[in-house]
């Protein structure tokens, strides 16, 4: 019984690792395939007198079948083992599903940004659920006001949060206000850089960068980057 639980956990972990490299949805196919394939291999090898790692043919004495199957401690241990295994698999599945959802949202936002777009068009296209870190190559004229601005997603699409130095607290602003603030902080006539950061519900985060030329149009968009990649 113990080896069966170990096989469940090991195959779940292996399926999770492989799925992270390909696609989260692969886990739901790969895990049962690995688990039952291991058992099938064990039975086939046992037929030829060979042993398999963490697989032993279940042997039961015919003289005491009722005692072995109905014993309280064995049933409790079996229930605990299957519960742990089920929770492990469910947890892995939830993580993979969450990562896949976050990746899809970030990928869709990345696809909306095209070369030649203006700052306003980019700001409007990627305004939902993304943190924005913006900076400029403009020379610093005031050490207390660097050529940079951080914007967080607001309460709804088209709204942003930023830390108001005068009020000393976060303030929600509209998209036109955010655009005006960017021009004020970063200064026109110099290359700008936007880094969009997607912090979803999973442990992994995704980001990409948008580079603007001195005329304020998109010159380059980097590929989507995952924090575990």
Which tens digit of pLDDT belongs to each residue from 57-91?
A: 555 444 445 444 456 666 666 666 666 766 677 77
CA distance 41 to 50: 10
Q: If DSSP codes are grouped into helix, strand and coil, which group holds residue 198?
A: strand
Residues paired with residue 225 on neighbouring β-strands, in sequence order: 207
pLDDT at 60: 45
Query: What's the chain's Rg over C-alpha atoms?
Result: 27
Residue indicated by tokens 């049933």: 75
Which tens digit of pLDDT belongs to each residue from 89-128?
A: 777 777 777 788 888 888 999 999 999 999 999 999 886 7
Q: Which is higher by pLDDT, 183 or 168?
A: 183
145 — pLDDT class (breaks 50, 70, 90): confident
Query: Phi and psi for 44 in degrees, rounded to 5?
Result: -65, -45
Arithmetic mean of pLDDT, 152-172: 84
Percentage of the chain lying above the pLDDT 90 cut:
27
């Amino acid at each position: 019984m113990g080896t069966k639980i170990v096989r469940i956990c090991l195959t779940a972990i292996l399926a999770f690792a492989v799925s992270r490299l390909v696609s989260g949805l692969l886990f739901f196919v790969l895990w049962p395939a690995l688990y039952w394939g291991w058992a099938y291999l064990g039975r086939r090898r046992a037929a030829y007198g060979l042993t398999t790692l963490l697989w032993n043919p279940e042997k039961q004495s015919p003289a005491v079948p009722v005692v072995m199957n109905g014993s309280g401690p064995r049933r409790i241990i079996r229930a605990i083992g299957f519960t742990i295994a089920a929770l492990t698999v469910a947890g892995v599945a939830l993580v993979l599903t969450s990562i896949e959802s976050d990746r899809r949202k970030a990928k869709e936002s990345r696809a909306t940004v095209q070369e030649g777009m203006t700052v306003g068009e980019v700001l409007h296209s990627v305004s939902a659920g993304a943190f924005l870190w913006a900076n400029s190559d403009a020379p610093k004229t005031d050490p207390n006001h660097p050529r940079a601005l951080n914007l967080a997603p607001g309460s709804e699409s088209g709204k942003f949060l930023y830390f108001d130095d005068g009020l000393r607290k976060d303030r929600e602003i509209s998209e036109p206000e955010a655009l005006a603030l960017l021009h004020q902080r970063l200064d026109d006539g110099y290359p700008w850089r936007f880094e969009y950061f997607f912090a979803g519900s999973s442990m992994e985060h995704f980001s990409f960068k948008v580079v603007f030329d001195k005329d304020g149009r998109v010159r380059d968009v980097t590929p989507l980057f995952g924090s575990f990649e």
